[in-house]
Each structure stands twice: as C-alpha cells, then as structure tokens.
Amino acid sequence: MNCIIASTSTIYGSSYLEYLKPTLSEHFKEVREILFVPFARPSGLTYDEYTAKAKDGLTFLNASVKGLQEFENYREAVEKSKAIFVGGGNTFLLVKTLQELDLMSVLKQKILSGTPYLGTSAGSNICGPNMQTTNDMPIVMPNSFEALGVLPFNINAHYIETEPNSKHKGETRRTRIKEFQVFNNVNVVGLKEGSWLEVRDHKIQLKGKLNAVWFEPSKAPKIIQSDAYL
C-alpha cells in the first residue's frame, strides 16, 4: 500500500492541505492525475464545489484533479485511476454513498494494489475495519458500518484529550472509544489534528509533531510517539 491517512485536511492557522504540502509533493511525485471522491460533502457542499476546493488545495502539485462525479462510469473511473483522494466530511454519508454505488470493493482493491491514496478525516475513517469510531452525526444510515479494512485498526480522526482544567463533565473521547471496545474487538488509533499515518507496503508510521493514542480492548491506552511504527 502507498497511503497518507490524515486526521484532518486543515489545521488551525493554515489553509486547506497546507500543512501536508511537503508530504503530498513526495507522495504524488510521479502522479499526473488524481481522482477526487467528494461524497462526504462537508457542510453540505455540492460535489462540484468540493472538487473545486480540492483542486485549489492541490494546485502546488504537477497534476490535474478530477471529481468522480465528472465521470459517466464511476466504477471504471476508480479502476483506471492513477491516484485517489477521498476528502473529509460526514463518514456516514461517505460510506452510504460508496456502498450504494458498489464502490467499496474496487476502492479497496486499488488501495491494496499500491495506488497512491490520500484520505483526510472521513476519508481516513473508512480505512479501518468499520466506521464506528467516527465523531460524525448519523445524518444518513448506510447499509452497514463495515468499511474498507485496509488498515488492521480503526481511526478516530480529530482525536483530542480533555484539558486538565476543563469544566466539561461530559464523556471524553477516551470514554467513547472504550465504550466502543466493550462490544467490538477492534483496536483504535486516536489521531490528532496535524498528524497522519504513512503506509508504505505493510509498514505504518505516525508522522507529524504530535503523538497519537493506541486503544486496545481491555487494556489501558498507550501513547504512540511521532515517527514510531505501529
């Protein structure tokens, strides 16, 4: 595999994909055309509006960006793609749309075959066995929560730790993930904003300046330091 699995597309104080520019310049170095999948539709953007945003964010690359909606045959477009970017937004909507268009299996095969892949937020959430550790509201109902399963663990994108002096008494992100693991024997990586996973063949490395948190059922969470291999 050849993937960048990013927690977010945008970090505080920067523009869309700006913090990933050095990494993406190398990741897509040999690529001349990127297929963008806009189905997660953040804030209800249309497919064309979201594709325009992706194109603008990737102008630093020597590659054209085309939205999947621009093709007559979606499955064929994925099969023939040279590189794929699945943008963030609502994971429930993304999974539902991919399932209804029968694109899950072909997308998985393309990733496993080594096609350069970029996922941000929802586009990263779908890389685990299931999408059940997303933070998104269930605005639609997919046929199942099953996802691509190209990673052997789930992602919790935008992961945050509770501030020590916070007055918030609601459930923490750690609490929610451990609740999930009571009923699901699936490991989870809490991936903070500004962090990403680089997947090269079967090696998975945490990149960025921040650590991540590894959740394993029935065990205490562990800190993963930047540049460590999972």
3-state helix, strand, coil in the chain (%, to 5): 30, 20, 50
| Active site annotation includes 158 | yes
Q: Which residue has the tokens 């040279």?
A: 82
Residue 160 and residue 84: Cα distance in Å, rounded?
Answer: 28
What's the CA gap between 111 and 100, in Å, rounded?
19
Q: Which of 81, 121, 124, 195 is catalytic?
A: 121
Selection from 77, 71, 63, 88 nearest residue 4 by Cα: 88
Kindly state the tokens that stand for 207: 């990149």
Beta carbons of 140 and 94 less than 8 angstroms apart: no
Considering 7, 81, 136, 195, which one is annotated as catalytic?
136
Active site residue 121: yes
**Residues whose CB is less than 8 angstroms from the CB of residue 166 and which lie 6 or more positions away in sequence, other chains included:** none
- Given 158, 195, 202, 227, the catalytic residue: 158
Question: Catalytic residue at 64?
Answer: no
d(CA 153, CA 100): 24
Phi-psi region of 193 (alpha: psi -120 to 50; beta: other; left: phi over 0): beta
Q: Tell me the backbone φ, ψ of residue 156, rounded to 5 degrees.
A: -110, 100
Show which residues are catalytic: 121, 136, 158
